[in-house]
Chain A
Amino acid sequence: MEFLLAQIINGLILGGIYALLVTGFNLLLLEGGVFQYAYPHLLVLSMYVSWLVLRVTGNNIFLGILAAVLSGIVLGIATEPIFRSLSKRGAAVASFIVALGIAIIITDILSRVINKGIQIAFPESLKGEKALLQFGYAIISAGQMLTILGSFVAVGGIFFILFKTKTGRAMRAMAQVPGVARLIGLPVNAMSLYSYMLAGILGGISSVFLIMALGSASSGLGNTLALKVLAVAIFAGLGNLGGGLVSALILGMAESFVMGYMRGDWANAVAFGMIMIIVMVRPRGIFGMKA
């Protein structure tokens, strides 16, 4: 029973992080038609920036977290001009290839330059391992609780902006009919920049939660996360924000249970196997495509 509970907690943590990432990814897909494969790579870059700040400041946790979030925003906004022309001419495949190029560059630089390419480790104090709740052997630590709650609050915040504010309405209008949005005088470029900023915030927050959950990072993490995010997005249906959340939780839980009950090596294969089946049976995802 305790083992089952531990898997559910792990599943919620994984699902929460995937939900953050898939929301940011879908936001970029809806707003600019950009297939941002390198989005998780930028997040990993934020983790490395945080690690450098922690080293320079003698493990100042506040500055480390701030650096992760701020670098997430800056990196998100910095990529907007690269994708702008592709977005305007509706070149979705080209955007995927450009993102792939960015991902290769980030992975290569991280594997050679920072810490001589060796995996980086974060201070134990960042993990928040103090037990908050205990059910037999199963423990919910402060870090885990913060990750679960923080993920849902952050995603809730983005949904609030999108569905309850004037800016959000403008963004949704832009996502649905970009030409008409421009005709009725919506500041399309500013809105596009705004969506990159929101995606950057989500990326920055997820990098903090990943630091807490994993306690380490390596150059290959970007590719692993990218495939998981794409898997969740396709599982739900590309651009489906609500469906993305549900799928993130399903996939997080499935992965956690496979890791718990099967050899770890099979976890990714099961996750990707699920994607294969969904794409073959329901090519437009479980909840339908919106992009």
Chain B
Amino acid sequence: MPISLFYFLVFTGIFILLGWAIYIVYRNGQLNNVPIAAMAVGAYICAYLTRELHWPFLPALLAAMGGGAVFSFVPALGLGRAPGFSMTIATIAMIFITQTVLRNMAFLGGVYGFYSIPRVDHLLIVTYVIVFIVGFFIFRLERSRIGRAMEVVFIDTSVARTLKINTYWLSVWLQVFAGVLGAIAGVLFANLVRILVPRHFSLGMLLNIYCFMFVGGYTTMWGVVVFTPILWGFPLLLPEAVAEWKDTIYGLLLVVTMLLRPEGVISKKMLWDIKVSVKRFFINRRKS
């Protein structure tokens, strides 16, 4: 497989995981950016354990997931009650705090970065096995009682409370889940690039994920799945002079999508309409 295709596919998998991490908390009506900071935590934990302590990949992955869970659980206890925008900004602040702490940790390479991270064998397969497992889990979660509770909270928090949904703990656990997903994305990222620098985990990364999620559609998990490869891939096909303007193109796409189709390109209603049309097509065919 060409190396560029390998990188494209693994990055796409990582971005889908991050997109789902932000999506799952947003379905609960809160825009949480902890997954980017948790990604940094997961990446550095895995890198340190595999390079310095020679841990195999799987225990390092589990340790990173644990790290991501603890890292997101502590602020989630406070942020669970925070109004939407306060959470958005506080979690952006967390990204900056994490970056500053990493920059000042000499044993993790500081500003110069952490190099020569061992790479797991068959990274592409590992990535997509994880993406499939996480995707299946989210798919089932959305169809469970918790998923229906999230749906109500997204539409109206007051109604959710009258239905005796514990919005606080729902938010806390979803934030922890998002943190774990962020940490997994970080582990895969560390294995792919093999050099970690604090500025990798910046606002720029968050803006890319926002673009994939809000342009793709935030009312269904499939928006991220379909639009991450499209939006991440199309700059690679453009001439270099145009591809350099990737950020401007992403910005324009965000603005135009929010103004013309606020729910994103793929919406729940759109999926429902497709499902009904396909059903009708087969029923008519059977009749004729």
Interface positions of A (Cβ within 8 A of B): 35, 82, 85-86, 91-94, 96-98, 100-105, 107-109, 112, 223, 227, 230-231, 234, 238, 265-266, 268-269, 272-273, 275-276, 279-281, 283-285, 289
- For the complex, is B245 an interface residue (Cβ under 8 Å from A)? yes
Which residues in B have their C-beta under 8 angstroms from that of A107?
A: 247
Give the chain B neighbours of A230 by CB distance below 8 A: 89, 92
Which B residues touch A276, using CB under 8 A?
Answer: 75, 78, 90, 93-94, 97
Q: Which of A101, A265, A275, A284 contacts B255 (CB 8 A)?
A: A101
B78 adjacent to A272 (CB under 8 Å): no
Tell me if B116 is interfacial: C-beta within 8 Å of chain A.
no
B263 to A: closest C-beta gap in Å? 10
Could you list which residues of chain B lie within 8 angstroms of chain A, going by C-beta atoms? 31, 75, 77-79, 81-90, 92-94, 96-97, 100-101, 103-104, 203, 207, 210, 214, 244-245, 247-248, 250-255, 258-259, 262
- Choose among A104, A238, A280 the residue with the greatest number of B CB atoms under 10 Å from its CB: A104
Contact of B262 (CB < 8 Å), options: A91, A104, A238: A91
Given contact pairs A101-B254, A105-B247, A266-B100, a sample of 19 additional A-B residue pairs in the complex whose CB atoms are under 8 Å apart: A35-B85, A85-B259, A92-B84, A96-B31, A97-B258, A98-B258, A100-B207, A104-B207, A104-B254, A107-B247, A238-B86, A265-B103, A269-B96, A269-B97, A269-B100, A272-B94, A275-B93, A276-B75, A281-B78
Say what secondary structure dominates the interface of chain B: helix
Given A238-B85, A279-B86, A280-B82, A101:B262 Cβ within 8 A: no
Instruction: Give, as a whole number of angstroms, the nearest-CB distance from A238 to chain B.
Output: 6
Interface contact A102-B251, CB-CB below 8 Å? yes
Closest to B83 in A: A283
Q: Which residues of B contact A284 (CB under 8 A)?
A: 83, 86
Contact A234 B254 (CB under 8 A): no
Q: Is the CB of A234 within 8 A of B207?
A: no
Cβ B104 vs Cβ A265 within 8 A:
yes
Shortest Cβ distance from A283 into B: residue:
B82
Asked whether, in the complex, the Cβ of A96 is within 8 Å of the Cβ of B88, the reply is: yes
The docked-state distance in angstroms from the alpha carbon of A276 to that of B101 is: 15
The 8 Å CB contact of A269, one of B101, B247, B259, is: B101
Query: 15 A–B contact pairs at CB < 8 A?
Result: A100-B210, A107-B247, A227-B92, A230-B89, A234-B89, A238-B83, A269-B100, A272-B94, A273-B93, A275-B93, A276-B75, A276-B94, A280-B79, A280-B82, A281-B78
How far does the alpha carbon of A227 sit from the alpha carbon of B87 in the complex, in Å? 13
Within the complex, what minimum Cβ distance (angstroms) separates A33 from chain B?
11
Assess the B97–A272 pair: CB atoms within 8 A.
Answer: yes
CB-CB under 8 A from A234, the residues of chain B are: 85-86, 89-90
Q: Bound complex: CA of A100 vs CA of B103, how far in Å? A: 26
Q: What separation, in Å, do the CA atoms of A100 and B75 have in the docked complex?
A: 24
| A265 surroundings in chain B (CB, below 8 A) | 100, 103-104
The smallest C-beta distance from B114 to any residue of chain A, in angstroms, reads 18
Pairs of residues from A and B, 6 with the lowest C-beta to C-beta distance, nearest first: A280-B78, A101-B254, A104-B251, A272-B93, A269-B100, A105-B251
Instruction: Give bound CA distance, A108 to B249, whole Å.
Output: 10
| Whole-angstrom CA separation of A239 from B85 in the bound complex | 12
Contact A268 B262 (CB under 8 A): no
CA–CA, A97 to B103, complex, Å? 29
Report the bound CA distance from A188 to B93 in whole Å.
35
B74 nearest in chain A by CB position: A280
Do residues A109 and B248 form an inter-chain contact, with CB atoms below 8 A? Answer: yes
Shortest Cβ distance from residue A223 to the other chain B in the assembled complex, whole angstroms:
6
Structural contact, A268 and B247, CB atoms closer than 8 A: no
Q: A112-B244, A283-B81 are in contact. Are A266 and B255 (CB under 8 A)?
A: no
- On whether the beta carbons of A94 and B258 are closer than 8 Å, the reply is yes
Assembled-state Cα–Cα distance A71/B255 (Å) = 22
Shortest CB-to-CB span from A93 to chain B, Å, is 7
A39 to chain B, nearest CB (A): 14
**Interface contact B245-A108, CB-CB below 8 Å:** yes
A271 CB, min distance to chain B CBs, angstroms:
8
Task: Kindly list chain B residues whose C-beta atoms are within 8 Å of the C-beta of A108.
Answer: 245, 247-248, 251
Chain A: CB-nearest residue to B256: A101
Q: B245 to nearest A CB, angstroms? A: 7
Rounded to whole angstroms, the CA-CA distance of A103 and B75 in the bound complex is 27
Given A108-B247, A269-B101, answer yes or no on A101-B83 (Cβ-Cβ < 8 Å).
Answer: no
Q: Which residue of B lies closest to A238 (CB)?
A: B85
By beta carbon, the residue of chain B nearest A271 is: B93
**How many angstroms between the C-alpha atoms of A63 and B248 in the bound complex?**
30
Chain A residues positioned under 8 Å from B96 (CB to CB): 227, 268-269, 272
